[in-house]
Amino acid sequence: MRVAVPLDKAYRLINHGPVTLVSAAAGTVRNVMAAAWAMPLDFDPPRIAVVVGAGEHTRHLIDASRELVVQVPPRALAAQTDGVGSCTGRDTDKWSKFGLSWTAGSLVQAPLVDGCVAWLECRLLDEPRMEAHYDLLVAEVVAAWAEDAVFAVDGRSVRLRDDVPPELRAIHHVAGGAYVADGEVFSVR
């Protein structure tokens, strides 16, 4: 079940550095791509940084709408994640090609990819130099959601569960279609 996450804890959904899917929409056009280079920038206000190449179709949709969703695909979506990261949506409907569906965002027009385990609805902040120079987008998180089989959300507490089934675990991109899956959760305090 998808549950709301307190905004100042939204960083925890991507703090462990998983590969993400970035989705965006402009008008009736929606696209999704993979992005390994995404990370939190601040807790409160919640901000993230993500690299989306200037030539990407998704980037054009983000530039047009100033909105995006950054979401965490589980291992069950590994092949689709690699697939949407390896072709362009300019001439392909990735949704039908990879059997992906989406749900409307609550505050942004960018779609939430179904089957993911965490979603950050974001609005772009104006950092034209970083966008132009590094393809680095800085965005504010305006709504956040988590799959409660993966993240335990209890009031102000949000934590990655230690008993997540293998197919729901986050994956981390190494390179060229190789990924490493989340292993054991442990605490050192």
Q: How far apart are CA 106 and CA 18, in angstroms?
A: 23
| Rounded alpha-carbon distances, angstroms, from residue 142 to 69, 90, 121, 123, 187 | 10, 28, 6, 7, 30
Q: Which is nearer to its own copies, 104 or 180 (CB)?
A: 180
Does residue 54 touch its own copies according to CB under 8 A? no
The nearest distance, CB 29 to its own copies, in angstroms, is 27
Q: Which is nearer to its own copies, 91 or 184 (CB)?
A: 184
Residues 142-171 that bind its own copies (CB under 8 A): 158-160, 169-170
Listing DSSP states for 135-176 in one string gives -EEEEEEEEEEEETTTEEEETTEEEE-S---GGGSBEEEEET
The nearest distance, CB 167 to its own copies, in angstroms, is 12
Query: Which one of 39, 54, 104, 107 is in contact with its own copies (CB under 8 A)?
Result: 39
Instruction: Summarize as ranges the residues that interact with its own copies (CB under 8 A).
Output: 12, 15-19, 36-42, 47, 49, 51, 78-79, 81-82, 127, 129-130, 134, 136, 138, 158-160, 169-170, 172-189
